[in-house]
Amino acid sequence: MALAWSPGAAYDGSMKRLALALFALLVAAPAGAATVVTATVEELARSADLVVRGTVEARQARFHGARIYTTLRIRASAAWKGSAAEVVEVEIPGGVVGDVGQKVSGVAAFAEGEEVVLFLRRGGGAAYGVMGLSQGKFRVEGDTAKNEVGGLYRLEKPIPPGERVAEEMPLAELERRVRSAR
């Protein structure tokens, strides 16, 4: 069916259907959400250069041209994959410099003193980047690893047998899944 419109044309049923279809597309994904394909812990682990458990020691934001990036200093307590230095630098997009702030949808938030497990990939410089946006960050609370994917619209896909979506789980299970991923 071909649709044509001119300024004097009547608003017929086909135009109404087109308008409704466009509206449905606009509201399908939450506003301000980043879209990612759902990742399993095993997929993140296989793709990561380093999986580290540690504590956020410091955050420092700075401009790179017109964009702001924040460098995190993570005091590593264990490397579940790869070999970690005592302090690992991680760079994430966004942050606050003076009275200027930039927020990037889907990027994990970090607080000083927070204990985390991070799935990391080597960046262009000395710092690592977090994989899968906020899917690659778990906050450690006691014996639980909490994955906060706020700001993400996850596209569902079939999960391979024996694998688990990156979501809240016992810390011991997260470590076992990372260490056994092939």
Domains of the chain: 34-180 (2.40.50.120)
Asked whether the whole model's pTM tops 0.95, one would answer no
Q: Give the confidence band of 126 by pLDDT, cuts at 50, 70, 90.
A: confident
Across the chain, mean pLDDT equals: 85
Better-scored residue on pLDDT, 152 or 131:
131
Which whole number is the average pLDDT over 62-74?
Answer: 95
Q: What is the pLDDT of residue 21?
A: 45
The most confident of the ranges 16-25, 30-39, 126-135, 169-178 is 169-178
Please give the pLDDT value at position 3: 43
Q: What is the pLDDT of residue 105?
A: 87
HEC per residue, the chain: CCCCCCCCCCCCHHHHHHHHHHHHHHHHCCCCCEEEECCEHHHHHHHCCEEEEEEEEEEEEEEECCEEEEEEEEEEEEEEECCCCCEEEEEEECEEECCEEECCCCCCCCCCCCEEEEEEEECCCCCEEECCHHHHEEEEECCEEECCCCCEEEECCCCCCCCCECCCEEHHHHHHHHHHCC
For residues 110 and 74, the answer to whether their CB atoms sit within 8 Å is no
Lowest mean pLDDT among 33-37, 42-46, 73-77, 131-135: 33-37
